[in-house]
Structure 1
């Protein structure tokens, strides 16, 4: 599975988190410690906010550790809010359109995990998308589809509800197609002003997400970037809303 990180706070150069720390995202792409796969070499992506309405993005299919363009860009791009992702494919092709984070208007989304037996569910889930959203479907991943389903479920008006309704859509499809293996997800999304971070799994054992708050700077990552007691593991089956210095946790209850 993949590794990712997100940051908000004082504007900083991206390489300060992506390259510099002892267990940076680049190091995690070579040797993840808490993921299902050790190597994450199936492409990478960046997304960052500036004063523009739409975030910038850069995707590439090379392993993150070997790309000189990534090293140069992160050394020169400075942002108060950004996301970065290194990919380990769960079956779909290695292509730029399948690299995270995914962007629609002011929204960014990235995901670690999978909808198991996705090919059994893909047609049924894609049919839930209205035509107005389907044209945003550029790749073939379950991750991008999860993002678009959240948009279909009202992401712009009620984020927590959109997340929960999307999980219900997936769990209902699994039940109808008799897929017993769990849907696993660690998700980060932003509208440019705040983050929502999800830890969810059908079997109550979602992928790890850690958070570190230092003053007005907040980092969230699949794995701690360095040895520090300040990194705290987020609780499973929760949505964590990060807005400025405020953190609010909502328990995910499906009531199905």
Structure 2
């Protein structure tokens, strides 16, 4: 599987996000504590927003812990909205076009999990993608195809409904092929202003997902912590696993739920696929 983080708030140095925490994402690429695999070395990617509406992306097939370009870029770049992902392939090739986050216009998307027995359902799911969007699919992963299914069902207008519809089609297709638990997912997507995160699996035993607590409350608990003091009041993190053991810093996102982060506002709602 994979590990990822989504940050929003005041511009922060990417090195602060990716390298400095005690259990940083780069550290997790080699020593994940909560992932399906300990090592997530099949490439990585980062996406960030700056002055342009369209986000920048950087992908590499190198392990994150061993990529000098990532270290150099992270030291020099700041952004107020960052997606980062370290990959453990579930079968598709290790290549740049298979690294998350995926980009379409001003949207980013990343996924931890899998569409089970993907080769069996790949043709049916591909045919469900809008023909106008299909030429833009560059890689061979279930995660990118999932993104384009969500785009087909209206991600840019109503993200929650689009992901519910996409998961509904994935589950219906899988079960038609005799697959008992067609999908396992934690997903994050953003348009540059709002982040939506989803935790769901067909067996209701989803991979871990956490969100940071209110920064002002953390400052009261840990007044000498330099990292907390650097973050703005509206800073929020959504992560596959906590970046450290700071008491009170993390709350688990409930099973089968949607998390919406807009500025300092965070809302959680139930998630259920649309029945076909």
If the TM-score is normalised by the length of the shorter chain, which range does it land in? over 0.9
Alignment partner of 1:63 is 2:66: no
The list of structure 1 runs, each at least 4 consecutive aligned residues, that deviate by more than 3 angstroms after superposition, is: none
Q: Is the alpha carbon distance of 1:255 and 1:193 closer, same or farther for their aligned partners in structure 2, counting shifts above 3 Å?
A: closer
- How many Å apart are 1:205 and its aligned residue? 0.8
Cα RMSD (Å) of the superposition?
0.9
Per the alignment, in what secondary structure is the counterpart of residue 93 of structure 1?
coil
Give the Cα–Cα distance (whole angstroms) in 2 for the partners of residues 160 and 182 of structure 1: 19
Give the Cα–Cα distance (whole angstroms) in 1 for the partners of residues 161 and 243 of structure 2: 31
Map 1:96-107 → 2, pairs under 5 A? 96-107=96-107
The match for 2:237 among 184, 202, 219 is: 219
Corresponding residue for residue 31 of structure 1: 31
Per the alignment, in what secondary structure is the counterpart of residue 132 of structure 2?
helix
Give the Cα–Cα distance (whole angstroms) in 2 for the partners of residues 85 and 155 of structure 1: 21
Corresponding residue for residue 236 of structure 1: 255
Give the Cα–Cα distance (whole angstroms) in 1 for the partners of residues 273 and 78 of structure 2: 39
5+ residue gaps in structure 1? none
Per the alignment, in what secondary structure is the counterpart of residue 135 of structure 1?
helix
Per the alignment, in what secondary structure is the counterpart of residue 70 of structure 2?
helix
Give the Cα–Cα distance (whole angstroms) in 2 for the partners of residues 53 and 230 of structure 1: 31
CA deviation profile, 1:157-188 (whole Å, cap 9, x unmatched): 11110010011010010111111234100000
> 2:26·2:64 contact (CA, 8 Å) conserved in 1?
yes
TM-score normalised by L of structure 2: 0.91
Give the Cα–Cα distance (whole angstroms) in 1 for the partners of residues 176 and 14 of structure 2: 43
CA deviation profile, 1:138-158 (whole Å, cap 9, x unmatched): 000000011100000011111
Alignment partner of 1:40 is 2:40: yes
Corresponding residue for residue 179 of structure 2: 179
After the TM superposition, which of the residue ranges 206-215 and 192-201 deviates more from structure 2? 206-215
- How many Å apart are 1:135 and its aligned residue? 1.0
- How many Å apart are 1:220 and its aligned residue? 1.0
Corresponding residue for residue 109 of structure 1: 109
Alignment coverage as a number of residue pairs: 256
- How many Å apart are 1:253 and its aligned residue? 2.5
Map 1:1-256 → 2, pairs under 5 A? 1-213=1-213, 214=215, 215-228=233-246, 229-254=248-273, 256=275
After the TM superposition, which of the residue ranges 181-190 and 61-70 deviates more from structure 2? 181-190
TM-score normalised by L of structure 1: 0.98
Give the Cα–Cα distance (whole angstroms) in 1 for the partners of residues 93 and 181 of structure 2: 22
Give the Cα–Cα distance (whole angstroms) in 1 for the partners of residues 187 and 19 of structure 2: 22
Give the Cα–Cα distance (whole angstroms) in 2 for the partners of residues 130 and 157 of structure 1: 15
After the TM superposition, which of the residue ranges 196-205 and 180-189 deviates more from structure 2? 180-189
Give the Cα–Cα distance (whole angstroms) in 1 for the partners of residues 161 and 261 of structure 2: 16
